[in-house]
Amino acid sequence: MKLILGIESSCDETGIALYHTERGLLAHTLHSQIAMHNEYGGVVPELASRDHVRYALPLVREVMKQASCTLGDIDTIAFTQGPGLSGALLVGASVACSLAYALNIPTIAVHHLEGHLLSPLLSDPAPEFPFVALLVSGGHTQLMRVDGVGLYTLLGETLDDAAGEAFDKSAKLLGLDYPGGALLSKLAQHGSPGRFKLPRPMLHSGDLDFSFSGLKTAILLVVQKNAQDEQTRADIARAAQDAIVEVLVKKSLSALKLTGLKQLVIAGGVGANQALRAQLNQAAQQHSFKVFYPDLEFCTDNGAMIAFAGALRMQQHEAQRDYRFNVKPRWDLQQFSQAD
């Protein structure tokens, strides 16, 4: 029976949560910087760090209050050690490790993607190991075989842009605010399918890798060639979404076929996309497998997944007390799981 405080600060959200190994998630809170970065057309790393250092501590107090716990109740502090923006990671790491030092409790360094990967286990019903995970966020697109906590095999990944990045860049070309993924998908609802044909990069590559960088060039051409009336923009959005979603769905199916597994788990911000969900659900019925999504609030970066991953990790590993809090802005999840 342990109480874990989780701290996430790898990019543009400060997420703090309290997870109890028996009672589950007790409280979580999030400060998103999206509105701030929006004015700059993308995440400004220095501004992200400046925001984290203002919000981390008040948010820690907020979750303690929400859960009616005191700091003395915490057994371990989990924090995101990477990958991510180094300055941003350092804020979470310094608060986490110094607080742990003062409370005389250990810390657990969590891999951000492991947080995403395990986040569907926070939902009910939860998948059981082993499963295939499609990790689709602003910075990553990977298919993983997950055999247990820390047992990850990379099946395929993007060779260039991430799926979220593809959504965001397409959105930008359509004049939508940053990050435009969700806005593009909203616009696409009014679009008619098939008016514009966009490439499906690497759909038949025979492996499980992705490539999305060509898509933006194709979209740019379509945007330049056509008048930008509302319907045309919606039709282009629809075409972009259809292209990205189709590739994600097809490759996920191939991954299930290859591994022979019957559970697919979707993690990361793009997992919020309704078209993706609809097509996966349909495919799941057709090919009789089960698909799991994290609750919407846990799709994007959050503290709950970090506290939770920390809790699962604790069952395998001694939490550490050496209080060095170096971060790992670049950190391969596969390497990490092999190293353990």
Partner 1 sequence: MKILALETSTEYCSVALWHDGAVSERCELVGQKHSEMLLAMLDVLLQDSGFGIQDMDGIAFGKGPGSFTGVRIACGVAQGLALGANLEVAGVCTLEALAQASGREKVIAALDARMGEIYLAAYEKYEGTWVAVIAPCLCKAEDAPQVTGAAWHGAGSGFAVNGAALQARYGEQLGSMDAQAVPQAGAVAQLAAIEFAKGNAVDAAQALPLYLRDKVALKTSER
Ligand X SMILES: Nc1ncnc2c1ncn2[C@@H]1O[C@H](COP(=O)(O)OP(=O)(O)OP(=O)(O)O)[C@@H](O)[C@H]1O
39 touches partner 1 by CB under 8 A = yes
> Under rule CB under 8 A, which residues in 10-29 are in contact with partner 1?
none
Instruction: Judge whether 252 and 268 are in contact, CB under 8 Å.
Output: no
Stretch that binds partner 1, among 98-106, 112-120, 202-210, 289-297 (CB under 8 A): 98-106
Tell me whether residue 58 or residue 148 sits nearer to partner 1 (CB atom): 58
324 binds, among partner 1, ligand X, none (CB under 5 to 8 A by kind): partner 1
Q: What is the 3-state secondary structure (H, E, C) of 183-204?
A: HHHHHHCCCCCCCCCCCCCCCC
Burial class (CB in 10 A: 0-12, 13-18, 19+), 75: middle
Using alpha carbons, select from 179, 172, 183 the residue that is nearest to residue 36: 179
Question: Phi/psi at 301 (nearest 5 deg)?
Answer: -55, 140
Tell me whether residue 172 or residue 313 sits nearer to ligand X (CB atom): 172
Instruction: Judge whether 301 and 15 are in contact, CB under 8 Å.
Output: yes
201 binds, among ligand X, partner 1, none (CB under 5 to 8 A by kind): none
- Binding residues for ligand X, rule CB under 6 A, total 21
101 touches partner 1 by CB under 8 A = yes
The string of DSSP codes covering 239-307 is HHHHHHHHHHHHHHHHHHHHHT--EEEEESGGGG-HHHHHHHHHHHHHTT-EEE---GGGTSS-HHHHH
294 touches ligand X by CB under 6 A = no
Tell me whether residue 150 or residue 164 sits nearer to ligand X (CB atom): 164
Mapping DSSP to helix (H, G, I), strand (E, B) and coil, where does residue 76 land? strand
Write out the H or E segment, with its range, that includes residue 54: helix 45-66
Rounded CA-CA distance 14/9 in Å is 5
- DSSP-derived secondary structure letter, 92: H
Q: Provide the mask over 120-149, with x wherever binding to partner 1 is found by CB under 8 A and - wherever it is not.
A: ------------------------------
66 touches partner 1 by CB under 8 A = no
Rounded CA-CA distance 92/103 in Å is 16
**Among 168, 169, 283, 294, interactor with ligand X by CB under 6 A:** 168
Write out the H or E segment, with its range, that includes residue 132: strand 131-136
Query: Residue 264 has which token pair?
Result: 């697919």
**Among 23, 24, 34, 57, interactor with partner 1 by CB under 8 A:** 57
56 binds, among ligand X, partner 1, none (CB under 5 to 8 A by kind): partner 1
Query: Residue 304 has which token pair?
Result: 């709950």
312 binds, among ligand X, partner 1, none (CB under 5 to 8 A by kind): none
β-pairing, 76-82 vs 3-8, is parallel
Stretch that binds partner 1, among 95-103, 199-207, 212-220, 248-256 (CB under 8 A): 95-103
326 touches partner 1 by CB under 8 A = yes
> Under rule CB under 6 A, which residues in 171-200 are in contact with ligand X?
179, 181-182, 185
Tell me whether residue 96 or residue 265 sits nearer to partner 1 (CB atom): 96
58 touches partner 1 by CB under 8 A = yes
**Among 164, 191, 303, 310, interactor with ligand X by CB under 6 A:** 164
Binding interface with partner 1 (CB under 8 A): 39-41, 44, 46-47, 49-50, 53-54, 56-58, 60-61, 71, 86-87, 90-103, 322-327
Residues near ligand X (CB under 6 A) = 10-11, 84, 137-140, 164, 167-168, 179, 181-182, 185, 268-270, 272-273, 300-301
